[in-house]
Amino acid sequence: MIINKVCKYTLSLVCGWLLTCTLSYASEWLIYNVQGYTLTTQNQLKTFSALHVSDDKVKATYQKANQWQQLPASVTRVNGQGYVVLPGLTDAHGHVLGLGYKKQNIDLTASRSKHAALQKIKQFAAEHPKQQWLIGRGWNQMRWQSQAYPQAKDLDLVIRDRPVWLRRVDGHAAWANSKAMEIAGIDANTPDPEGGQILRNEKGKPTGIFIDRAMDLVRAHIPEAQPSDQQQLLKNTLLQLAKLGITSVHDAGVSGETLSLYQQLAQQHQLPIRVYAMLSASSDDYLQWLPKAPIFTADHMFTWRSIKLMLDGALGSRGAALYKDYADAPEQQGLLQYSLEQAVKKVQLAYQQGLQINTHAIGDRGNGTAIKLYQRLAKANIKPLNAEQPGRHRIEHAQIVAPKDMDHFSQLHLIASVQPTHATSDRDMAEQRLGADRLDGAYAWQRLKQHGIILTGGSDFPVEPANPFYGLHAAVTRQDRTLKPRASWLPSQRLNREDALALFTVNAAYAAFQEEVLGTLEPGKYADFIIIDRDLFNIPDNSIWQTQVMATFVAGKRVWPKQDPFQLKAGVSKQRN
């Protein structure tokens, strides 16, 4: 182990500030003079002023100084200078490679018009003349004045000689140019695949927009990145999440190849944060991986014991499956990517293996079909082969749940994996798609909670920003970061701060079968915690999203930042005002 000179010099001294050295040399240490908060396993909020770490676990928390001042001198003391300590946050639904690729490729998230998007694409193409395929993500026609889908002919005006493939912000639709469709062999005679749709003009010719499983027709022709490149991208992206205060991520829908890369990183002790992976049921190697389940590492840095099934699409692309027609598109009710019978067949072996079945469902018919899927599995009386704790199945998103389905959701003990920032991003579009009279079950966190349903929280990055404090803010306020709408959107569904924090901590741990080792700062659990710049429970609602993370610790070791951003000298103990 290499210890910097400052840390060597102060090894026998009391560290003046936590961020001056990594403390990886100390088997037992204590950070005091903090404003600490943790939920308990019973979801009770507990405060503390000192956190005692032994090796990689929490040994104790203390409320009063006299409770820790008698500890042996061998316990390193660190002055927390009055900063705030929280349990490390979990994003219970994200896409790690997707976030990494978004930073590498064309990012159209900020484009507020088709013209702006095309200019961004043209600029990227000029800056990357040797890139074979031009790949990007983030466009959202609902933010454009016309709100109309773009077309291949629009892309052809700026790029004709290379294929272009641009996924919509939600990942459930894509925009291709004519070259990409030519390579994929797409023409007027190409049929819509089951669970997908090719948008066509009045003459039946493809316009360049592909919905849900129709995207596979083009995506199959895009060259894959090399495994070594993907492994580095995983590491870099996980470190970016650590900077945001995320100590664990549930990677929702990965390939077997990505599972293998995660295994390698875990074996090499190169995972900066914890990963709970869900194998995609549409992955080419899905069936080959099922007999290998479950996979754990002893230090809980990597876990695979779940699959993800895509049951419907998204509201923005009108792929979310609804019981009734879309309010703004009569005769359209969205798409089920699998019939109920197909879905049962797809997940039955995984269920038998004892894996957690996590189903993507956004529309009310999508959620209703997911509930029927779990009912069918339960009635089949299949006894899992490998799982010690079968069940805890999840519906990912659970955005629109018909009131008639709430009781069934609860009776099956399903977990609702929600993304609070979706509510604030989708609100205007959701009302257009559904109509005001069908919002009773939309993003209905309080209603789900009142039915006894456990909720866990994530961001669905890269669809939304990965910053968990954006999610906490949205859960508490039902407003976006510009404080719109002024009166909150469907305010009866707001969560209080304790329940919002539970989404990203104790409930997320439960949703991954990890509540005995993660999710709270109780004795015996891993010392995964963060230091932030403000008191989450004593600031105005509109300040929550502005929270800055100053340090992130996993298993008692600082994973971010590498250097002391405050340039504080070791040994100097300073009280923060």
β-bridge pairing 45-54 and 57-62: antiparallel
CB-CB contact of 368 with 334 (8 Å): no
DSSP 175-202: EE-HHHHHHHT--TTPPPPTTEEEEE-T
Domain ranges across the chain: 5-88+525-560, 283-511
Joined together, the tokens standing for residue 59 give 């040994």
Spell out the residues 6+ positions from residue 23 whose beta carbon is closer than 8 angstroms to its own. 15, 29, 76, 78, 556, 557, 558
Distance CA 291, CA 295 (A): 11
Query: Cβ(457)–Cβ(475) under 8 Å?
Result: yes
Q: What is the reported pLDDT for 570? A: 34
* Of residues 465, 383, 378, 371, the one with CA closest to residue 414: 371
Q: Please, are residues 159 and 125 in contact by the beta-carbon 8 Å criterion?
A: yes
- Give the C-alpha separation, 171 to 388, whole Å: 34
Q: How many Cα atoms sit within 13 Å of 218 on the Cβ side?
A: 31
Please tell me the class of the 5-88+525-560 domain. mainly beta
C-beta of residue 46 within 8 angstroms of C-beta of residue 61 = yes
Note the pLDDT tens digit of each residue in 336-381: 999 999 999 999 999 999 999 999 999 999 999 999 999 999 988 6
Q: Which helix (H) or strand (E) holds 236?
A: helix 227-243
The pTM is what? Answer: 0.90
**How many CA within 13 A on the CB side of residue 439?**
17
Query: In sequence order, what E strands does 95-171 have?
Result: 106-107, 134-139, 164-168
Taking Cα atoms as reference points, which of 183, 194, 192 lies closest to residue 220?
183
Q: Which pLDDT score, from 0 to 100, does residue 18 have? A: 46
- The residue behind tokens 């000029």 is 126
Residue at 47: amino acid letter: T
Q: Which residue has the tokens 């015996």?
A: 524
Calculate the alpha carbon distances from 69 to 18, 76, 522 in Å.
18, 11, 20
Give the closest residue to 95 by CA, choosing from 251, 279, 261, 263.
Answer: 251
Q: ω before 468 within 30° of 0 (cis)?
A: no
Concatenated DSSP letters for 250-273? EEEEE-HHHHHHHHHHHHTT--SS
Which DSSP symbol is given to 154? H
Q: How far is CA 469 from CA 225, 301, 338, in A?
A: 32, 23, 35
Rg (C-alpha) for the chain, rounded Å, is 24
- The helix-helix angle for 468-477 and 420-434 (nearest 10°) equals 50
Other Cβ atoms less than 10 A from the Cβ of 558: the count is 18
What superfamily does domain 283-511 belong to in CATH?
Metal-dependent hydrolases (3.20.20.140)
The neighbour count for residue 112, using CB atoms within 10 Å, is 11
Per residue of the chain (577 residues), give pLDDT as tens.
Answer: 333 333 333 323 333 444 444 445 468 999 999 999 999 999 999 999 999 999 999 999 999 999 999 999 999 999 999 999 999 999 999 999 999 999 899 999 999 999 999 999 999 999 999 999 999 999 999 999 999 999 999 999 999 999 999 999 999 999 999 999 999 999 999 999 999 999 999 999 999 999 999 999 999 999 987 888 999 999 999 999 999 999 999 999 999 999 999 999 999 999 999 999 999 999 999 999 999 999 999 999 999 999 999 999 999 999 999 999 999 999 999 999 999 999 999 999 999 999 999 999 999 999 999 999 999 999 886 666 555 555 799 999 999 999 999 999 999 999 999 999 999 999 999 999 999 989 999 999 999 999 999 999 999 999 999 999 999 999 999 999 999 999 999 999 999 999 999 999 999 999 999 999 999 999 999 999 999 999 999 999 999 999 999 999 999 999 999 765 443 333 333 334 3
Q: What is the pLDDT of residue 563?
A: 67
Residue bearing tokens 């100097």? 572
10-50: pLDDT as tens digits: 323 333 444 444 445 468 999 999 999 999 999 999 999 99
The b-or-e profile of 364-391 (16+ CB within 10 A means b, else e) is: bbbbbbbbebbebbeeeeeeeeebeebb
3-state secondary structure of 297: coil
Question: How does DSSP classify residue 234?
Answer: H
> Given 3-state DSSP classes, what are the helix, strand and coil percentages for the chain, each rounded to the nearest 5?
30, 25, 45
